[in-house]
Amino acid sequence: NNEQKALFIIFGGTGDLAKRKLYPSLFRLYQKGYLQNKFAVIGTARREWSDEHYRNVVKESIKDLYLSEKVADDFVSHFYYQAHHVSDVEHYKTLQKLADELDKKYALCGNRLFYLAMSPRFFGEISRYLKTENIVTDHGYNRLIIEKPFGRDLASAQILNKEIEKYFPEESVFRIDHYLGKEMIQNISAIRFGNNIFSALWNNRYIDNIQITLSEALGVEERAGYYETAGALRDMVQNHILQIVALLTMNAPISFNDVDIRREKISALKALKVYSTPEEINENFVRGQYAGLGDMKGYREEKDTAEDSNIETFVAGKLYVDNMNFSDVPIYIRTGKRMAVKTTRIDIVFKQVPTNIFKDSGMQANMLTINVDPQEGLNLRINAKEVKPGFHTESINLSHLHDIETKENIPEAYEKLLLDALLGDATNFTHWEEVNYSWRFVDAIRHVWDLEPADFPNYLPGTMGPKCSDELLAKDGNHWEFNP
């Protein structure tokens, strides 16, 4: 029996994330039996909703998932709504009463998950009231799940963390990075540590370079207000990309549990070479901003952006993890909006054989590709004999794509992360030390970029970013392997 007992309190229960991700994920956990009778959800936000209205909203959010009205109605009967302003202490008192009532009613053993699905500026205050108003129980567990962004630089992240750690110890804080919930990102560990052929080669003696691409085809859409204060470096590199870098370059953990894995990830991020001078930064990082084309507006013409905005919608960089296994392996990263395709993929480019005994000069290096989005799969490029008279080599691809049925059954990232939080497994959540080292790295670049206006816009929609991104690799005699 997998049934978990817990009360969820969702702050921001009327918000977009709750409706699009959290309620459907909770429903899937319900369908799979992780949640049965012993759970309840309190949604809170300022809007004055009744329980009935709230349940209708939740039901609407899962309408594509249920086949039976009865199952859906049973599920939503566990949902309660409490109107609440985060700064009003009286509301926490009401919340505490309701939480205790539901704990009794559903036999929840004092287990609580507090999901903060709202602006980070409220995280500190909510944590405080949860503790001072005794919503945190003294029997059962109390886990705080928080959304990104965690600060906007190292200083603000430290302030936020100090505030939270007064009320919740690090092991109770579950910082969401939804990339860590993606199937193929989780697969990195299986590939690396479950295969001798890869674990033996996974180092600077055999890997030539690593390339990570997180490209989006859409522009900034409705998020320009936020994006103007962030940019691609903060929005994608500090969290998702550096998390992927850590998973690719960490040493093997002693065992596969959250403490051991996160210890190794922290070490990898600590080993990130931090660029400090403007020269080093300009040598290793480039930025871009999309121009307009036809009906598509350029970033500076989008609603809520400044007409001389210096915010980057594209970043490419070369970084190094200076540990024993990875020093000297360039790790090229790039991410951007309005690019040719939406894709997330990782290319591990191996070194060429020490000497080429064949006449063919154009032999390609071995390459392992991990396709994360949109099509999950793996591809290994190897050289083999061409089927022809004479002797020539050619590249062939050993490839595995999840079939349609497997693909359809891949749990959504949020579903996996919510289950992990229920089980108390913090493997796929970011530890404070990871956040700390990531910001240290990103801040140095941000600082230089904020001082030097960029020559924007510098790339067209539908391309893979500005020319300087290709030049970054060309300087090293390399090129982006993924070039749609």
**Min separation Cβ 223 and ligand NAP, Å:** 9
Q: Does the protein bind ligand NAP through residue 119 (CB under 6 A)?
A: yes
Q: Which stretch binds ligand NAP (CB under 6 A): 113-121, 165-173, 297-305, 325-333?
A: 113-121
- Which of 476, 463, 482, 458 has its CA nearest to residue 287? 458
Of 78, 91, 240, 431, the catalytic one is 240
Structure tokens at 145: 């799940």
What is each CA distance from 194 to 129, 177, 197, 373, in whole angstroms? 45, 24, 9, 22
The residue (of 148 and 270) whose beta carbon lies closer to ligand NAP is: 148
**Min separation Cβ 160 and ligand NAP, Å:** 12
Distance CA 210, CA 347 (A): 6
Q: Are 418 and 26 in contact (CB under 8 A)?
A: yes
Distance CA 167, CA 261 (A): 25
Give me the DSSP letters along 65-133: T-S-HHHHHHHHTTEEEEE--TT-HHHHHHHHHHHHHHHHHHT-TT-EEEEE-S-GGGHHHHHHHHHHT
Which of 78, 84, 337, 381 forms a contact with ligand NAP (CB under 6 A)? 84
Q: Does the protein bind ligand NAP through residue 467 (CB under 6 A)?
A: no
The residue (of 16 and 471) whose beta carbon lies closer to ligand NAP is: 16
- The response to whether 381 counts as a known ligand-binding position is no
Q: Does the protein bind ligand NAP through residue 279 (CB under 6 A)?
A: no
**The tokens 């909703």 sit on which residue?**
49
Q: Which stretch binds ligand NAP (CB under 6 A): 51-59, 114-122, 162-170, 355-363?
A: 114-122
Distance CA 484, CA 464 (A): 8
Distance CA 344, CA 365 (A): 21
Residue type, position 399, single letter? S
The residue (of 17 and 365) whose beta carbon lies closer to ligand NAP is: 17
Task: Report the residue count for the chain.
Answer: 484
**Min separation Cβ 226 and ligand NAP, Å:** 8
Q: Does the protein bind ligand NAP through residue 47 (CB under 6 A)?
A: yes
**Min separation Cβ 145 and ligand NAP, Å:** 11
Structure tokens at 202: 């996974």
Structure tokens at 350: 């191996």
Which of 40, 42, 45, 321 forms a contact with ligand NAP (CB under 6 A)? 45
Measured distance between the N- and C-terminal CA atoms of the chain, rounded to whole angstroms:
47
- The response to whether 467 counts as a known ligand-binding position is no
Q: Which stretch binds ligand NAP (CB under 6 A): 80-88, 154-162, 355-363, 442-450?
A: 80-88
Q: How many residues bind to ligand NAP according to rule CB under 6 A?
A: 19
Helix (H/G/I), strand (E/B), else coil: 325: coil
Subset of residues 120 to 179 that bind ligand NAP, contact rule: CB under 6 A: 120, 147-148
Closest residue to ligand NAP in the complex (CB)? 15
Residue type, position 419, single letter? L
91 is catalytic: no
The residue (of 13 and 317) whose beta carbon lies closer to ligand NAP is: 13
**Min separation Cβ 436 and ligand NAP, Å:** 19
- Extract the annotated binding site for NADP(+): 12-19, 46, 148
**Which residues are annotated as catalytic?**
240
- The footprint of ligand NAP (CB under 6 A) covers 12-17, 20, 45-47, 84-86, 117-120, 147-148
